[in-house]
Structure 1
């Protein structure tokens, strides 16, 4: 969900229930979110240096997650190239429910290999939870997922992508046309 200060993403994982991502450094917004959020497992990420960010956090919040990057991809970067071929021995499935598209790659024996999801909000789309199991890395599955997610967003009319990347994920996203807008610092409510 988009707001004046950034995005809120319903993550739905144990220890990571939701994530607020600020698009700009804003002490008042950080203080308001961290003072009014008491549920554990809520994350907040902002383009703010760690020491400064830590000084703005309310009780029960602490820095977490290591370095991150706010990234964007205007004009459907994956559409500039043909869809990547799926590696032999894998299958890609995707489905959409309530505006959220999930993509899942499994090996032919049904084992988890990779996943990701995307949600469209207005003209923007947010890519989240892109993950490739270490045993299945370096087979083009991340690139395949990103293409599928961007295509799903484009099919819903979205034109500009946003995501939060780890240092490892950043390398993949840059190869498919995304660029860093700002470094991010993360915090979590315990």
Structure 2
């Protein structure tokens, strides 16, 4: 019997309640960080009217069931994204061949603080700013070159960590861990009890080491220009 591609995640998702409300909290933070309107409920899922040339809208669903398939059948314009808390293989099976499936990502959760921020490695300096609804921490080296950047949005009791990146050749020097702790310190000031992020395959290992856990796979399909 073929193995269910979501089997490894099914128990975790049920225990941690990956439902439309959790996805709405994640997507609200994602939208605030970009100055976009908040998500709205639509067709059994959520939708954000992005309005960028390369991304008109994004639809987000808990699974790749009937609601997602019905949504896809009504989409004919390019640059529309579908996202769901399922494995990429499951999303592939749910959609016609002209939808392109992107690399797997992971919806992750952290409930408690990540500890006091540690000192940056010698020769690095951090600054805190704001962009739209996000607090932004930028790390530069002694020459003023960008080394790392990350954002956190606090809304209600949820903190959404977004676009965390350490640039080459500054990787593997502890900048990612220090950056996450510094962002978490900002989140703590808002009294949050839930921390959410979506990780790439490369980023997942760092977040697991910092005490985050995977709630579910988070996969993307895009209707590209044909």
Which piece of structure 1 moves more, 82-91 or 28-37? 28-37
Deviation at 1:43, TM superposition (A): 4.0
Cα RMSD for the two superposed structures: 3.0
CA offset at residue 21 of structure 1? 5.2
Determine the C-alpha separation between the residues in 2 that align with 1:37 and 1:157: 43
Deviations 1:74-127 (A, max 9, x none): 022x1xx33211111111111234431111111121111111111123211111
Contact 1:5 1:29 in 2 (8 A): no
Instruction: Verify: 1:139 aligned to 2:173, yes or no.
Output: yes
> What's the counterpart of residue 111 of structure 2?
74
Q: C-alpha separation between the residues in 2 aligned to 1:29 and 1:119?
A: 29
| Contact 2:87/2:104 (<8 A) preserved | no
Give the distance between the partners of 1:123 and 1:38, measured in 2 at CA.
36
1-structure distance, mates of 2:137, 2:76? 30
Number of residue pairs matched by the alignment? 183
Pair 1:30-2:68 in alignment = yes
Return the alpha-carbon distance in structure 2 between the equivalents of residues 134 and 102 of structure 1: 19
**Cross-structure match for 1:163:** 197
Could you tell me which runs of 5 or more consecutive residues in structure 1 were left unpaired when the two chains were aligned.
Answer: none
Aligned to 2:88: 50
**Runs (5+) with no aligned partner, structure 2:** 1-19, 35-51
Whose radius of gyration is greater, 1 or 2?
A: 2
Asked if the contact 1:118/1:125 (under 8 Å) is kept, the reply is yes
Q: Say which structure is richer in strand.
A: 1
User: In the TM superposition, what is the alpha-carbon distance from 1:18 to its structure 2 partner?
Assistant: 7.0
Residues 81-96 of structure 1 mapped to structure 2, 5 A cutoff: 81-96=115-130
- The residue number in structure 2 matching 1:6 is 23
- Normalising by structure 1, we get a TM-score of 0.79
Q: Distance in 1 between matches of 2:139 and 2:215?
A: 29
- Mapped to 2, the partners of 1:141 and 1:67 lie a distance apart of 24
Comparing 179-188 with 130-139, which one deviates more in the overlay? 179-188
Change in CA separation of 1:140 and 1:151 when aligned onto 2, cut-off 3 Å: same
